[in-house]
Amino acid sequence: MSNDEIVNVNDINYAIYKIGDWKNDYEINQIGLSNEIPVTKNTVFHVKMSMDEIRKSEFAFSDSTVNGFVAIATQLNPKILEMDVDDIISLEKEEYDNIIEELDGLELLAEDDTIPLDGEDYLIYKLQKECHVTTATPANEYTEKFHANELKKIEDALN
């Protein structure tokens, strides 16, 4: 990729984030545990859609049915297993509501802006549809390094 390639902010084929912190603290919702903060309208839409899909997934847990975020949290956060299942479900709902509020309040890039693909101001993922699944592939070296570090954190949490 050449150094002069640009990405249109409103291009639905890219998800664009900045590294930052959420206003609230999160224990369950993996979106809120990430340091990736959406900076485009399309990215916010994609994040919300992904969250809704994860929440629609149902799993049996401790004589209850829980959504995907609760199920994932029980695998990644041992502290969650010490909680009563009803408290976990309630906390997930609170976190979801807080993240939606934060997403709705984000300062976003203007729809007609462009950004350099090879820059280091934003994490840029190329979105590709494979069957019924959208995959996000790092679109530049900066994002690739960040993504690899995030995957290592998850791997370390599982060990």
- The reported pTM is 0.89
Where do we find the tokens 């993504």? 147
DSSP letter at 79 equals G
> In this predicted structure, what is the pLDDT of residue 43?
96
Phi and psi at residue 114, in whole multiples of 5°? Answer: -130, 155
Phi and psi at residue 135, in whole multiples of 5°? Answer: -105, 145
Write out pLDDT tens, residues 3-62: 569 999 999 999 999 999 999 999 888 887 789 999 999 999 999 999 999 999 999 998
Q: Is residue 87 situated within a structural domain?
A: yes
pLDDT classification of 130: cutoffs 50, 70, 90: confident
Residue 43 C-beta-side C-alpha neighbours within 13 Å: 26
Q: Which amino acid is at 99?
A: I
- Burial readout 66-76 (b: 16 or more C-beta within 10 A, e: otherwise): bbbbbbbbbee
Phi and psi at residue 8, in whole multiples of 5°? Answer: -75, 130
Q: Is residue 1 situated within a structural domain?
A: no
> In this predicted structure, what is the pLDDT of residue 4?
66
pLDDT classification of 151: cutoffs 50, 70, 90: confident
> In this predicted structure, what is the pLDDT of residue 20?
94
Nearest Cα to Cα of residue 85 among 95, 100, 73 = 73
Q: Is residue 96 situated within a structural domain?
A: yes
Phi and psi at residue 34, in whole multiples of 5°? Answer: -85, 155
> Higher-confidence residue: 90 or 130?
90
Domain tally, the chain: 1
Distance of alpha carbon 32 from alpha carbon 18, whole angstroms: 14
Distance of alpha carbon 63 from alpha carbon 152, whole angstroms: 32
Domain that includes residue 67, residue range:
6-158
Write out pLDDT tens, residues 54-106: 999 999 998 999 999 999 998 888 889 899 999 999 999 999 999 999 999 99
Query: For residue 117, what are its two tokens?
Result: 């693909």
Nearest Cα to Cα of residue 92 among 151, 136, 33 = 33
